[in-house]
Structure 1
Amino acid sequence: MDNNTNNKHAAGGPPMTFAMPMYHDFVPKWIRPWIYVVLAFCFQLSNGMYLGAMNNIVGEWGIMREDVQMCLYATLIGMALYFPVLFRMKFRFSNRLLLMTSAAVIVVCNLLATFRMPLPLLWALCVLCGMAKIQGTFECMSTIQLWMTPKRDFGVFFPILHIILLCSIEVAGYLAAWFAFDMHWTYMHWLVMALMLVVLLVQALLTRPFHAMPQIIPLKGIDWMGALLWCVLWLQVAWLLNYGDWLDWWHSPDFRLVTGTMLITLAVCLQRMMHHPKPYIEPAMWTYHNVVPVILLIGVVEALFSCEHVLEMVYYEEVMHYADHTYEALNQWSLPGIVAGCLFSIG
């Protein structure tokens, strides 16, 4: 998984050294992993659209809140569906190429997202941005995994990873609201583009092409059509759940139309999963240990969190009449709790 294959292990012990061969020799060894931590944080600050500036986007473009929320769901779908091929990409392309490509895609998506365009095209951009976001984050964190935990202890790796993920979510929301309040909501896009240019500059000046595997593994056998079908399916599901209340569910002809096409897409996805020799999502996945209980647990936990979030939003906006900037500023008090909770998980 890592590019640290030259680490020498003591008998039954952790690696004696940690090397990052993609760096040029003039880069000090002590700062190399920390650079990738900063790069991972930069990638996590990116998004297709930024909900901290939702009211400003809605007011300027004359669209609904649900339209902006759909951008978030599209970004999440891009991240989730691209995850199964992350290792294949790591074993096929160099660390430098993956990071530079991810940064370039995020730059283009954030630039185009500042222009008023048809919503389906905007959602497609958000899907691409989500794919680039998780690719860049994964490449950074997987590269320094043995630096974070020489014994490859996921009980250490994931809490540290979630410090970066959760803190960046709160910081991105605050920055987007602050830019929208004091300047213009597009400044958040320009900030992210500047950060991605920093990523490109770091990779161009400090690193060289380096493959994680001695032998390059080709991308043959990946069911890209299946991936596209699953992406369409989950976009349809997100659209139904996002716009259902506004359209009064099945009383709307548009909602009924999308429901019918969603069922057709689901049937095609299942047929391909059962009969394709190498489907993008294999049926055997459901037989893996603890997969179903974990999915059910995540569903229950997310439902509880979403209920709290909805009530919080109603209180802040409808009762207290707080602006987005005030709401996001109050959310920054969660940062100490995030760090403390993740560090407690390590212990």
Structure 2
Amino acid sequence: MMAIGVYKTGNSIIRTRQLLMYHDGVPRRVRVWLILIFGFLYQYAGSINLSSMNQMVGEISFLNEDVQMAGYCMLAGITVCFPVMYRLKFAMYTRQLFFVSGIGLMFCTAITMSIAIPWVVCGASFIAGFFKMLGMFGCTSNFRLCVTPSRNYAIFFPVIYFMVVGGTYLSGLTTAYLTYYGNWRLMNLFVILLLMIHVAIVYFMMKPDHRPGPYMSLKGIDLIGFILWCGFIISGMWIFCYGEHYEWWRGNQVWLGTLICCLFFAGAWCRSRFHERPYLSLHIFSYTAVWKIIFWLFVASILQSAPRLLQSIYVNSILGYDSLNVISLNYPILYGVLLGAILAFYTKVKWCWNTKQYLVLSFALLTSYIVAMYFLIDGNTNKEAFFIPLVAVGISEVMIGSISNVYLSQSVPFSYFFFGLSAIGYSRCGIGNAAGAALVQRLYNWAVVKNSMSASENIDGTVLPFDMPSWSETMAVVSRQSVMMTLKECYGYLILVGIVMILLIIMSTYKTTVTRLIPKMSAIRRWMSNPRVEDPADSVIRKKSD
């Protein structure tokens, strides 16, 4: 298979690379760096950060599930906004788009730091996720031709995921340090300050009347469908977030949540089925590639729960790390994120790997982390031993995210591409993400009860199998050993999941019939005026076999 090469660029692309939304006095190199910095800034914003969960739970009497649900709501806001991104872009001036997203994020961040009502915080987080994606889309749609003049998706998406994943982990580091030396609200204030600087730069350096194309009204957007799909994803995430707290379907709350989720899904499906221009077209689910991506992203969410959940239990309960030592484990992941972006570029563009080879490497790296942790579980493991496994986590996270979008872009027409991003987002950021974490949490809770009973069944107050000065210290040792046994058992099950997934990838086929390029903005404008055309002009160039 030949890689997508460097293609000739016309004057329209050269003009687009100049980022004409800036005033003429702004140097061209500064324009590019500013828009890249804005992209990183939007990864800091989002109204709430899970790194400050302990302080939030202790100070404002939130449940852990309340903070997690707020984080999930932010991801839901990111997921549901894709179908209307270009409509919003053409409805506003470029400067106006950044004003709306920046000021909206400031208000949402201020709400989450000042109101201690869970449903209000979740609602503000959902809106913040929408504004966050709107601002990020404003950045990526403007610098895409600066990143890849050849309009190659395989170059574009590794850069995007380097910004998204890297910015997310940097945000976690910043939150942890500000929380440790101050208060969790300091991060909110810091984000508001950064957003104020961002809005000021946009105000003084960008033209007030620049628009990438003719004005396009927002009239005709299916708002009812939007509300129904939002209700479905939020209620679905609520089930998996609060399921363990309410003892799953043994409690009435989860049954009620399931009923509401099913009603929202039925309403959204019927609305999309019979509405002339639905918010989320059901035709996207007729593509086999979409189901493949949804499946491997769901499996990835299960495997990625190991560094997020099991590792957190291990370093806190067994090794006794404080918050700074725990968050310092983000540094090797950041190195892995950088290496992952480079490796994603070389494997797909330079070395001409096909999708199957790429996926096998990605899941092999993620599984190798779990294998390494299985053998590292001990009461005296040094922190340095986690370095290489966590680098593998960072590499795999960028590569899996990149190949999902690249494979989607090559498998569906551009007219359904943003529907596809929203559809796979239900697995990557929405219900699939929450379900994967809930499955691993449930597995851990089941195994820890079983192992605790097994480890303590022959111990009583008169006969101790080892020399301990007190009964309480004896039970502390038993509890510690049962947790380590449980972690090993959970890692073992996840290793099996990873191996099975790699075998399924090897046995599957991932063929695409055409090579699609990132469309020019002028072609997108013409395409939006004629929605019956599946791909903008000059974006499909040749046949290929993957």
Q: Work out which of the two has the higher radius of gyration on C-alpha atoms and give 1 or 2.
A: 2
Residue 61 of structure 1 corresponds to 60
Residue 14 of structure 1 corresponds to 9
Quote how far apart the aligned CAs of 1:201 are.
Answer: 0.4
Residue 211 of structure 1 corresponds to 211
Q: Which amino acid aligns with 1:211?
A: R
Residue 86 of structure 1 corresponds to 85
Residue 136 of structure 2 corresponds to 137
Deviations 1:312-336 (A, max 9, x none): 1110121122233321112112111
**Structure 2: where are the runs of 5+ without partners?**
1-5, 347-546
Residue 317 of structure 1 corresponds to 316
Give, in whole Å, the separation in 2 of the partners of 1:79 and 1:244: 23
Higher relative contact order (CA 8 A, sep 6+): 1
Residue 159 of structure 2 corresponds to 160
1:113 aligns with 2:112: yes
TM-score computed with the length of structure 2 as normaliser = 0.60
Quote how far apart the aligned CAs of 1:250 are.
Answer: 1.0
SS in structure 1 at match of 2:245 = helix
Residue 8 of structure 1 corresponds to none
Quote how far apart the aligned CAs of 1:50 are.
Answer: 0.9
Quote how far apart the aligned CAs of 1:203 are.
Answer: 0.8
Q: Once the two structures are aligned, what percentage of the paired residues are identical? A: 26
Residue 4 of structure 1 corresponds to none
RMSD (Å) for aligned C-alpha atoms = 1.5
Deviations 1:120-155 (A, max 9, x none): 111110000000101101101110110110011111
CA contact (8 A) 2:7 2:150 kept: no
Deviations 1:221-271 (A, max 9, x none): 211121111111111111100111111101111111111222222221112
TM-score computed with the length of structure 1 as normaliser = 0.94
Q: Which amino acid aligns with 2:133?
A: I
Quote how far apart the aligned CAs of 1:12 are.
Answer: 5.4
1:339 aligns with 2:343: no
Residue 255 of structure 1 corresponds to 254
Give, in whole Å, the separation in 2 of the partners of 1:15 and 1:176: 44
1:157-196 superposed matches below 5 A: 157-196=156-195
Evaluate the alpha carbon distance shift between residue 23 and residue 233 of structure 1 in structure 2; reply closer, same or farther with a 3 A threshold.
same
Evaluate the alpha carbon distance shift between residue 12 and residue 323 of structure 1 in structure 2; reply closer, same or farther with a 3 A threshold.
closer
Give, in whole Å, the separation in 1 of the partners of 2:85 and 2:41: 19
Residue 295 of structure 2 corresponds to 296
Give, in whole Å, the separation in 1 of the partners of 2:330 and 2:53: 16
Q: Which amino acid aligns with 1:114?
A: M
Give, in whole Å, the separation in 2 of the partners of 1:88 and 1:198: 27
Give, in whole Å, the separation in 2 of the partners of 1:294 and 1:47: 26
Residue 327 of structure 1 corresponds to 326
CA contact (8 A) 1:177 1:325 kept: yes
Give, in whole Å, the separation in 2 of the partners of 1:144 and 1:311: 38
Give, in whole Å, the separation in 2 of the partners of 1:309 and 1:113: 23
Q: Which amino acid aligns with 2:99?
A: M
Deviations 1:180-229 (A, max 9, x none): 1101110000111011111110111000131111x222222211121111
SS in structure 2 at match of 1:212 = coil
SS in structure 2 at match of 1:144 = helix
**Structure 1: where are the runs of 5+ without partners?**
1-10
SS in structure 2 at match of 1:290 = helix
Task: Give the total of aligned pairs.
Answer: 336
- 49-58 vs 17-26, which deviates more? 17-26
Give, in whole Å, the separation in 1 of the partners of 2:169 and 2:7: 40
Residue 45 of structure 2 corresponds to 46
CA contact (8 A) 1:98 1:136 kept: yes
CA contact (8 A) 1:53 1:324 kept: no
- 257-266 vs 47-56, which deviates more? 257-266
Residue 522 of structure 2 corresponds to none
